[in-house]
Structure 1
Amino acid sequence: MVPYRTLMGSSDSTLPCFLSSGAITKSNQALFLHAYPYDGLMFETGAECVTCKVKKPARSKHCGVCNDCVHRFDHHCIWVNNCVGAFNIKYFLAYLFTLTSMAFSIAGLTAAFLIQVVLLSNLMQGHYTDVHGEEHPVDASFLIQHLFLTFPRIVFMLGFVVLLSIILASYFCFILYLVMTNQMSNEWFKPSRFKHRSYRNIYSRGVWSNMVEIARPLTSHIKKRR
């Protein structure tokens, strides 16, 4: 195992947008070439990147945006303007978790404010008159319309944040599933291209080992010179 700081370079930031994702160059390609075996389907032995002119380790991919080959490439994230790879995926998970938690917190606080308004104003105890002049007790439909007309920005924000929370939580769970099964987004989408051939994930070593691999990314074992 190669020292983590050496692979990441001089950046000490813990943000996924600044951390090195694991760029492969001619000078460091030996660190990655034998980290994973080639499966002979998605990753072929002896493949070379036509752009970087380096041997492509298994599970690597060239990113056209960053113009680098990335070790254990997951995807290029426009949110952080960086590739998500072996050395910053755990920080990307923390980033997603933070965003999801913040979205749920804002939704909860906003909903609590509106509920407090309803309780203090005793709206549920009141009645309203419809267009035909008939009186009805306040129901959920009327309450939502009243709140939207009274606090349109707050109600709209609540709806938006709830939707955002669901999307973020779903994406976080998807990335967590990939981590637990030792897959990347890039690999998860690729098998559809090989429908005529059976594909088996040879990289999964059990949930615990897969998660440890995220915390301690695999690199090639380099023999010490005597």
Structure 2
Amino acid sequence: MAVHWVLICHGLVTLTVVVSFLCGQWPIFQGTPISSIHRFITFGAYQYFLKFVGAVFGDKGTNLILSVEYYCCDRPNPILQIIYLAIIGTIYCIIAKTSFSYIPGYYLSGIHRYASMLAVGIGILLFILTSFSDPGTVKAENVSQYLSAYPYDNIIYTEKECSTCKLPKPARSKHCSICNRCVARFDHHCGWMNNCIGERNTRYFLAFLLWHFLLCVYGTIAIGLVLAGQLKELRVIYILTVYYGVDNSFGSLAPYIVQWLLGSYNTQILLMVFMAIVSLLLAGFFVYHANLCLTNTTTNETFKWQDYISWRKKLSEARASTAALKASISGVNGEGKPPESKCRSFFRRSPLEDTEAVIKNNVYDKGFFLNFYEVIFPVSTRASFLQTKSKSG
């Protein structure tokens, strides 16, 4: 029985760590233990580790760790790509070893042996497409076309030159310090793909997230059906009710069935929990990026809009404060004016309440269908873009 509790505690700890690492910075978790664990994992633990290395090995040890950090985080490298392939390969091999012997079963036909292999293969293909496709690199040969395709909105994008590439910087583009290139409609640099997500490969990235979400759901359900089939074929419920006298109700049978599953199929249970957790995280990431695409916004622009709206609000508050101060001064100096009735002064709004509403005016949002069309068929792949290129040449 102690082994069962160890497995349950292991699952809960894994869930807490994974959610804290991936979602701890979300506003909903601010001020919670999840946020504290996230800060420790992403920042605190590494700082303590650097101090420990410095105390034990001195500056040479610290410099070695910093050089490894530079290689892993500040320049292109295939580390996370290798980890992804190792994770998906290991999980598939464990599932094949522990569950394929029960397929075909009571609820699953033998086709799922091959369907699972095909599903994993498609997932790896989408991974390769996202990792090695051009995200939309801005070059001297195509910068004029990108300048025409993405005009400046003069709100968060104004005409400027990239200080590194020395090329005009099209609106919605950004210079990636890791890849050392300007990327059109830049969203973010993805370490798992070792590539930027931009104008040309956002569609592959979305397909990757959606497919891996479905893949995890498929794996979770398939293993669940395997276990349900074993429960049926071994007549566990019949044995519990007839030979052990357990009441034939869900509340009575559930603890015994869970105990039997954890004792006989603990590997499958752990895989189900892991894939269920990952599927929820992938669903969150997909919904977030799908919403960005359908509103024709990028992750990079989300931060720009937040900065812009915050600046406008502060400016509006400063103007309101100035107006309130002027009103109070004029009230002190205007002794000759008749006193305002208490009722009227009570209902009169303060100038501080007249702060203007800051509205996000995204000129690139063309509506649901056109935004979706732009992601599926990027501007640089259309005939009009190529014609503009030939005319400019």
TM-score by length of 1: 0.82
> Could you say what secondary structure the match of 2:130 adopts?
coil
For residues 115-194 of structure 1, what are the structure 2 equivalents within 5 Å? 115-125=228-238, 126=240, 136-137=246-247, 138-194=252-308
Deviations 1:61-90 (A, max 9, x none): 111111111000111112211111111111
Closer, same or farther in 2 for the Cα pair 1:158/1:14, shift >3 Å?
closer
Counterpart of 1:113? 226
Closer, same or farther in 2 for the Cα pair 1:165/1:14, shift >3 Å?
closer
> Could you say what secondary structure the match of 2:196 adopts?
strand
Closer, same or farther in 2 for the Cα pair 1:223/1:152, shift >3 Å?
closer
> Could you say what secondary structure the match of 1:139 adopts?
helix
- Of the structure 1 ranges 92-101 and 137-146, higher mean CA displacement relative to structure 2 is found in 137-146
The runs of 5 or more residues in structure 1 that have no matched partner are 1-12, 128-134
- Of the structure 1 ranges 142-151 and 74-83, higher mean CA displacement relative to structure 2 is found in 142-151
The structure richer in helix per residue is 2
Name the larger-Rg structure.
Answer: 2
In 1, the alpha carbon distance for the partners of 2:290 and 2:212 equals 15
Alignment-mate amino acid for residue 50 of structure 1: S
For residues 20-99 of structure 1, what are the structure 2 equivalents within 5 Å? 20-45=134-159, 47-99=160-212
In 1, the alpha carbon distance for the partners of 2:256 and 2:138 equals 60
Closer, same or farther in 2 for the Cα pair 1:143/1:216, shift >3 Å?
same
User: What's the CA shift for 1:124?
Assistant: 2.9
User: What's the CA shift for 1:215?
Assistant: 2.5
Counterpart of 1:203? 364
Q: RMSD of the alignment, in Å?
A: 2.5
User: What's the CA shift for 1:172?
Assistant: 1.4
Contact 1:180 / 1:211 at 8 angstroms: preserved in 2?
Answer: yes
> Could you say what secondary structure the match of 2:277 adopts?
helix
The structure richer in strand per residue is 1
User: What's the CA shift for 1:223?
Assistant: 7.6
> Could you say what secondary structure the match of 1:159 adopts?
helix
> Could you say what secondary structure the match of 1:23 adopts?
coil
In 2, the alpha carbon distance for the partners of 1:30 and 1:73 equals 17
- Report the number of matched residues: 208
In 1, the alpha carbon distance for the partners of 2:142 and 2:189 equals 21
